[in-house]
Amino acid sequence: MSLMKLQNEMRLKNMLIPNDVIALQSCIGQGEYGVVYKAILRE
């Protein structure tokens, strides 16, 4: 995983999405508006 993708993932996990609500599984790609992640909701 590239450093940029890792930084984006860490930022999402720490700032935008509570870890107890969602689990990021993998990075799908990067587009014009940012990085797209595959994620699941935690129960």
pLDDT at 2: 79
pLDDT along the chain (43 residues), means of 10: 76 70 85 84 85
The residue segments making up the domain with residue 29 are 3-41
Backbone conformation region of residue 34, classed left if phi is above 0, alpha if psi is from -120 to 50, else beta: left
Task: Give the CA diameter of the chain.
Answer: 31
For the chain, the domain total comes to 1
- For residue 5, give every residue at least 6 positions away whose Cβ sits within 8 Å of its Cβ, in sequence order, or none: 27, 30, 35
Tokens 């720490």, located at residue: 14
Q: What is the pTM of this model?
A: 0.45
